[in-house]
Structure 1
Amino acid sequence: MLLSAASRLLDPELESSVSLFVGSYILQLILHLPSHLSPHIPELIAAIVRRMQTSDIAGLKSSLVVIIARLVHLSAPNVDQFINLLLAIPAQGYGSSLAYIMSEWSQLQGEIQGAYQIKVTTTALALLISTRHPELSRIEVNGHLVKTSAGITTRSKARVTPDNWTKIPLPSKIFALLADTLAEIQEQVGDDADNIDEEDSDWEEVQNGDATPQDIMYSASVPSNANPSVEHLNAMAKVF
């Protein structure tokens, strides 16, 4: 019954808005009923691909990418077998579901919101690339947007002129995405460390009697967020 509900919500004939929360629903099934879900993973992936291909809502596509990423984790340490499964599932207009999913994933990764979602998708990319599966290198995805030199691009011109992208091998794109994520985490860790230093400085001023009551209240109300960032960095480091 639970799986049939997920299947109905992934129906490509439905309006995309109806399926907006199906990603969260399926994620709960994966987390709490993995053994019940495992026999139906091929059908689930095929349904996810069909739903993604018929939707223009980036938020819906991103939530379904998170599901694929969670399935990558679920397949560990046999991630290469999961890649083979994606290769065996067709996708309209693409050689396989692997080619389609990675094309979308590589484009959407930077748009994914939420600490958990970013952590799951980023570490899943690391798991995929760590397999060194030969099919990954055969897939080309969008690299950088090619800027036109035809002057100012108006809205009407943008509608009729599609964006041009360079094409790069999927492994190169994955490494670039992982590098960007690590850089962002390190920057966040640095910012949190600066905040801690500021708190220590405020406390020293209080001890020296130089701070006003307002300063004391402000210092006491500033939270420290250093630990979550460090944990994320350590988790990613273990994957590499």
Structure 2
Amino acid sequence: MKVAPGAWRYTIVPLAAAPFAVIFSVGASIALLVLSLAIIAFFRDPDRTPPPSGVVAPADGTVSVLRPEDDRFRVGTFMNVHNVHVVRSPFEGTVREVEREPGGYKPAFSKDSDMNEKVHVRLEVPPSSFESSFDVTGQTKEVGDTGADARLDDVLREQEADSRETNDVSRDADDATGDTKIEREPVTADVTFIAGAFARRIHPYVESGDTLERGERIGHIAFGSRVDVLFPPGIDDDDIAVGMGDSMCAGETVILQPMEYEQVE
């Protein structure tokens, strides 16, 4: 079973103590072994396969926050102790900044958790991560055009298999219409790790300049907490595909479907 980096540092003490504890108490020795197995299970890191399109959940757990913040929108996921605690990137993009913000250690499910210690991973994301307003010919599609949606899925599958520059969004027309290229600046989106009452160790795996794929591992939080996605301007609650209390699977649950995204300057 694959586990998150650093998991063994938490496991080694109870695991090493278990054989010696049997001298004093068989029950204590068994308890230490069970604790070791529980810690390993907590840090499990299963593989995940993102769907062909859509913004994916960054963490396992339940939706605990859905709220607008100025011209942006936040989706928060509360991770319980039994959830996988490896965090994944909801989008493809480039890491612009990793910032650690000092704070407290209130329970992650409480309103006061907004004042807790955080790590912000700020990403530059291509607008194509959010939109389905162009089909394979570069023509705008109408809402409800399922054929265009299917073509978009095909394009996204091809894009995931190819290396491409995240600062460019290209669409090539067919020979009859000539070549068309659309270039737009990336937008900013944040993934925020929030510490909790017991989760006092945030471990990001990424640094400024790293290029990420959708669903790629970007860090983990030790022993439960919350992970938020702060979308760029132009996304609101009508665009979000999940509701309060919904179960989330990191890297697989779609929290925002491709849409007709209008970039806001």
* TM superposition score normalised by structure 1: 0.21
Where relative contact order (Cα < 8 A, 6+ residues apart) is larger, the structure is 2
Give the strand-richer structure, 1 or 2: 2
TM-score calculated relative to the size of structure 2: 0.19
Structure of larger gyration radius: 1
The structure with the greater share of residues assigned to helix is 1
